[in-house]
Amino acid sequence: MSATPSRRSLLRRRRRRDPAATMTLIAHLTELRNRIATALLALLVATAVAFWWYGHGLGEFIRAPYCGLPADLRYGGDAAGGCGLLITDVFGGVFIRLKVSFLAGAVLSAPVWLYQLWAFITPGLKRNEKRYGVTFVVVSTLLFALGAVLAYVSLSAGLELLLSLAGDGVVVALTAQDYIGFVLALLVAFGVSFEVPLVAVALNLVGVLSHEVLARSRRWIFFLTVVFAAFVTPTQDPFTMLLMAGPMIVLFELAIQLARVVDRRRAKRAAVEHFHGLSDDEASPLDAVPSELDAPPPDLDAGLRREDEPAGGRPAPSRR
């Protein structure tokens, strides 16, 4: 049985016969099914690898911010190197390991399922749209990674501040479910928040949001960024909030300046292409009549003639 041809090869064959031909709905659904199956298979394999990795370094990496706290703020801290997270039910450890393995597998298999998504969309895009799409995916990935790294670095300081507020006489014993959920929520919150300025850039590239609107709303954008950080951060402490809001404000300012450059280039391109729609026999609306070097401007010349014109209609002597 011969292999099913890919959507790209089908489009190439159809365009040889008819450049305007497109794929049928069944062919699109078949291609989508194959792409999804490949992405799920890659996710399953990566999740299995992460499940093994959890017991060989990944678990310690996740617990490192908690284990780095002072001894009186973590369970088992009185023992030498004690650092423990409580599990209150039988299946708690399994569910935690599966949850972490699934998220780590999604990150590890990201190149595969992102490529499958890109390969499905690419045949319907133009050349400039492909270029913008690749740039958007790369930049968004880097921004998400930057936000996640920043969240992991600030995790110890945020935990120490929050747990120390309990005061003396309180035994701090975090459950594994609460701690893992808190860490994952913080990483995702920082990663997604760093994507928000990129949305403003994308809206500007498609012509929905102009630089003038962004610049005029700069103060409101910065204020709402601080409010957004205050609500999104799981810790809700001032340190973590400012650590999220500061880079976001910088990214928004970069987005505004990038929108300025894009709008200027768009205006120059529109000025150059303004007369490209005229036919060969249609005259350009530009005024090509040469003017004298010593002649006054048209409005000034007309005003002088009206002043020098006598009531009888004969021109008056020149004032020069």
User: Does position 13 have pLDDT exceeding 60, yes or no?
Assistant: no
**What is the DSSP secondary-structure string of the chain?**
-PPPPPHHHHHHHHHHH-TT----HHHHHHHHHHHHHHHHHHHHHHHHHHHHHIIIIIHHHHHHHHHTS-GGGSTTTTSTT----B--STTHHHHHHHHHHHHHHHHHTHHHHHHHHHHHHGGGS-HHHHHHHHHHHHHHHHHHHHHHHHHHHHHHHHHHHHHHTT-TT-----BHHHHHHHHHHHHHHHHHHTTHHHHHHHHHHTTSS-HHHHHHTHHHHHHHHHHHHHHH-SS--HHHHHHHHHHHHHHHHHHHHHHHHHHHHHHHHHHHGGGTTS-TTSPPSS------TTPPPHHHHHHHHHHH--TTSPPPPP--
Q: Average pLDDT, stretch 176-181? A: 83
* Per-residue pLDDT tens over the stretch 195-225: 888 888 888 877 778 888 888 888 898 998 8
Instruction: Grade residue 44 by pLDDT with cuts at 50, 70 and 90.
Output: very high
Instruction: Grade residue 147 by pLDDT with cuts at 50, 70 and 90.
Output: confident
User: Does position 58 have pLDDT exceeding 70, yes or no?
Assistant: yes
Q: What is the pLDDT of residue 228?
A: 86
Q: What is the pLDDT of residue 291?
A: 59
Q: Average pLDDT, stretch 268-296? A: 61
Over pLDDT 70: what percentage of the chain? 71
Q: Average pLDDT, stretch 170-186? A: 81
Q: What is the pLDDT of residue 180?
A: 85
Instruction: Grade residue 240 by pLDDT with cuts at 50, 70 and 90.
Output: confident
Tokens standing for residue 281? 């026999």
Q: Average pLDDT, stretch 163-184? A: 77
* Per-residue pLDDT tens over the stretch 109-146: 888 887 888 778 777 667 766 777 777 778 888 888 88
- Average pLDDT score, the chain: 76
